[in-house]
Every structure is written in C-alpha cells, then in structure tokens.
Structure 1
Amino acid sequence: MKYILLLAFCFAVFSSYSQVDQSQTGAWYMYFYSHQFKNSQFGIQGDFQYRDWQGLGDMEQLLLRSGFAYTPKNANIKFTLGYGNVTSGIPGSSDTKSSESRIYQEVLFPQKFGRFHLTHRFRYEQRFVENQDFRSRYRYNLFLNIPINKKELSPKALYVAFYNELFINGQQDIGNNQTVEIFDRNRTYLGFGYVLNKKIRFQFGWMNQKTNSWGKGQLQFSMHHKI
C-alpha cells in the first residue's frame, strides 16, 4: 500500500510540474543591494527576490541571498562568498513547497567600451535541496547596459539593459532515482533602466527562461541600491 501511495504522490508532483503554463507571463520582483565598508576592500552584497508564476498569487520562488565581498586594490574585479535560502512553489493551486540552502562563490568582472557597460559574472553554487542529494551548478551571466540620453550611467540617465545567463548542472544523479540534464536553463532579458541618483537605479523588462521541458516569459521589476 505504501508503494502505491508513493507512486501516486510522485505522479501528482510530476503532473503539477508538467502544467507550467508557458503562455502565462509571470513576474519577478527584485531588490539588489551592495555596501562597501568605509576605508576597506571588503563589503556585502546580495538580493531579495519574490517570483510569481502568474504575476501575483501563485508563488514560484522566494529567494533571500547575501554574501561578503572583496575587491582587491587597483583591480577591477570583485569576489563574493555568500549564502542563499530558497523556497519554491509548484504552479497552480497546490500549496506544496520545497526548501533549499545554497552556498555560492562569485566573481564579477566589469568592462567599459565607450557607452557599453559590460559585466561578466561567474558563479559556482553548492545546493542542498530538500529530498535530494548534494548538487552543484555553474552559472555565467553577461550583462550589458547602454545609456540612451547620457554618455554615462549617471543620475537621470535612461539606459537599455540586456543579459543572458547560462546554467550548467554539476551532477546528473540527484538521488531517489532522480536525474537532471547537464543543461539546466538559460535566461535572456531585455529591459530599460533609470538612474535615480548615485545610489539607486530602477529597471523594468522582460525575461525568457528556457529549460529542457518548458519555456516561460517573466516581467522583471528591480531596484539596485548602493547602501
């Protein structure tokens, strides 16, 4: 009997995941912060994100992430060691949620070519997902910001924002007879931003996320804050 119940549960979970409505645009609400300690090469940075499958009312994820950052002297690069806590939901009426603890190491490498502001981000994650074996993941993100009405990303500047991020899984066997593909997902984003002042800027745009089994559009609203 217990095996029948387990099979029914797995089928229900699988069915819920298979019902991702690819035509329904979701929404991500994001706050990014950074702070450099006074007269120091160290600082903190992180982000808090609420992601919804349909805009509001059907939670996709709640992500809370923070880390300690280090910027070497006379070097245009930043290293971060951090921790993230992730709560994930299932699309639809189900209230089922799963939790994940995540340790990550990150390298940010900005570049500038005229008006083009490029940033390369390399991130390595160690993931402790509920009811799964230890997992790891590799991520590479290329960001591009281009000011429109000014030459720099200075106060009152409008700008075009683009990024593309590739996710690669470190393992395929994740326990309990579950496997994943080496390719995890890809995200492509296009939006517009506004620099309010030297410490705050806002962005709004559209992101398309693709996995091996589904693809979905997301509206993104973000605030970027230098504390």
Structure 2
Amino acid sequence: MLKRLLGAFFCLFFMQAVAQEKKTGAWYMYFYKTQFKESNWGIQGDVQYRNWNLGGDLEQLLLRSGVTYKVPETPLMLTLGYAHITSGVIGDSDDTSMESRIYQEALIPQKISERFLLTHRFRYEQRWVENQDFRTRYRYNLFLNVPLSKPTMTNNTLYLALYNELFINGQRDIGDGRKVEIFDRNRTYLGLGYALNDKMKFQLAWMNQNVNTQNKGQLQLSFHHQF
C-alpha cells in the first residue's frame, strides 16, 4: 500500500509539472532550529531560493532568522525575527527589488491521538518594501503531519505533510495612489516527508499559491534541521 501511495504521489507531481510547465515554480528551502542548553531560548530561521519556473528565473531569495522563547510548562513558542527578501522580475530581466521585514510569531503544537500532529502558527509582519509605503500583514498557518510507515514520528519514518496558510494585508494603501486587496494570498501544501531521525527531515511537495492576480503551482524541496 505504501509503495502505491508513493507512486501515486510522484505521478501527481509529474502530471502537474507537465500540465503547468509555464506556470510552475520551484522552491528550495532550508529550515533550521536550535535550543540553547538548559535554557528556554533558542534560534530558528530559514533560507529559501524561489524560482518563477523550474529553472533559474529568480522569484525570491529569502533569508530569515529569529530568537525563540519556549514558554515554561506550555507548548507555546514565541519568536521575534528579521527577514531580508530579494525579489526578481519574471522573464529575462535581472532587475530586483528589496524588502526588509520584522516579524513576531506564536507557534502552538497540538497532538491529536498518536498519529496526527497539528501545529498552529500565528505571524504578524512589519514590512519595508522598496518603493512602497510601510506595510503590515497577518498570517495564520495550520500544519498537519501524519506518520505513514510507523505509528509515530521516529527514525526512518515516511510521513504526510499538509498545511494551509492565509495572508491578510494590514492596510490597502501602499503609496503613490496604489492599493492592494485585504486578502493577500493563500497557500495550500501537500508533501511527502522522510524523518531520518528527530534532528533531520526532508520533504518533497506540491504547493498551490492563490493570489489576486494568479493561481500558481510550486514544486518544493525542503530540509528541516534541528541541532
């Protein structure tokens, strides 16, 4: 059954990529997290290289890191962080624009039975986008991981990774008479993960991003590292 599931999963990837070749992007991501010894404090962040297509047409280079605090006797983890984003232009142009971003985040893991691992993430962003007025944005992400090859997420476990994230703009006016919608975007993610151990996980996924101007698929490859 597991082999059939893997086969169906990769067939879906191939069919989606072929059917939407001109619209499909590819994102390569590294997520890291560490907790200082004998402390509730730590660091987490990510590096993401995003392509407009399956090749090398830069969509975004995102560098993000934050200081975390694990609230004692609760599952709640808080983060204060900074991100720098370089965004490219679709096509042959090498033009880029820059964004600096400060964010605050609350992460709440939740276990439903032994197999369903939920995580709620609330994030508030303050954004300084090049040639735009100061902006804010609200984000909510619901993650779900489900072990497939074993009852729990232990060493050498295949698992299903799902999430849905909603983005809401804090204001519509971005300067020079330009406006954006209150709804910014929504991301729906379906992935297959492999937990090598409790420190290293890999995911291959398909993510659909719906914004006001387009609906686009993304192939995603990510490495999740805790040290």
TM-score normalised over the length of structure 1: 0.89
- 2:165 is aligned with 1:165: yes
Amino acid at match of 1:130: E
Whether the aligned pair in 2 keeps the contact of 1:22 and 1:214 (CA below 8 Å) is no
| Alignment partners' CA distance in 2, 1:179 and 1:161 | 35
* Residues 2-25 of structure 1: CA deviation (Å, up to 9, x unaligned): xxxxxxxxxxxxxxxxxxx88421
* Residues 145-174 of structure 1: CA deviation (Å, up to 9, x unaligned): 000011111110100110000000001000
Structure 1 counterpart of 2:219: 219
Structure 2 counterpart of 1:95: 94
* Residues 10-68 of structure 1: CA deviation (Å, up to 9, x unaligned): xxxxxxxxxxx884211000000000000000000000000001122100000000000
Amino acid at match of 2:168: I
Structure 2 counterpart of 1:50: 49
TM-score normalised over the length of structure 2: 0.89
| Alignment partners' CA distance in 1, 2:68 and 2:201 | 21
Whether the aligned pair in 1 keeps the contact of 2:22 and 2:53 (CA below 8 Å) is no
Structure 2 counterpart of 1:32: 31
Q: 1:212 to 1:22 in 2, by over 3 A?
A: farther
Structure 2 counterpart of 1:15: none
Whether the aligned pair in 2 keeps the contact of 1:167 and 1:186 (CA below 8 Å) is yes
> Radius of gyration: which is bigger?
1
Segments of 4+ moved more than 4 angstroms: none
* Residues 160-214 of structure 1: CA deviation (Å, up to 9, x unaligned): 1100000000010000111100000000000100001121000001000011110
Whether the aligned pair in 2 keeps the contact of 1:123 and 1:138 (CA below 8 Å) is yes
Alignment of 1:155-194 (within 5 A): 155-194=155-194
Shift of 1:76: 0.5
Structure 2 residue ranges without an equivalent (≥5): 1-19
| Alignment partners' CA distance in 1, 2:34 and 2:185 | 30
**SS in structure 2 at match of 1:47:** strand
Structure 1 residue ranges without an equivalent (≥5): 1-20
**SS in structure 1 at match of 2:184:** strand
RMSD over aligned CA atoms reads 1.1
- 2:66 is aligned with 1:77: no
| Alignment partners' CA distance in 2, 1:77 and 1:151 | 25
- 2:143 is aligned with 1:143: yes
